[in-house]
Every structure is written in C-alpha cells, then in structure tokens.
Amino acid sequence: PASVPPISELGPDALLEPMSADEFADSLSKKKIAIKALLLDQ
C-alpha cells in the first residue's frame, strides 16, 4: 500500500517512521486546539 498513490500521499507511516516524544510534543505545541479534539482528529 505504501506505493499506491492515494495512500502514499497521506503522510509518513507511523510504524515505519516513528516520531520521537520530543517531535510529538513540538508538533502539539504549535497547535491552538484543545488536546482532546486534537487527539480525536485523525
């Protein structure tokens, strides 16, 4: 599926390219939204 264009354009695969805790915290700190809404918006 990673080579299929509609799927491959979605973004990085969380299982193949895991984000560090610092990167995750940094990306969350740039958002101006409630944490519950942010985590539920997938």
pLDDT score recorded for residue 1: 65
Contact (Cβ atoms closer than 8 angstroms) between residue 38 and residue 30: no
Q: What pLDDT does 20 receive?
A: 93
Tell me the CA distances in angstroms from 23 to 15, 26, 32, 36, 40, one per residue in order.
Answer: 15, 5, 17, 19, 19
Q: How many domains does the chain have?
A: 1
Domain that holds residue 17: 5-40
Tokens describing residue 36? 């519950």
Split the chain (42 residues) into runs of 10 and give each run's mean pLDDT: 80 85 90 89 78
pLDDT value of residue 37: 92
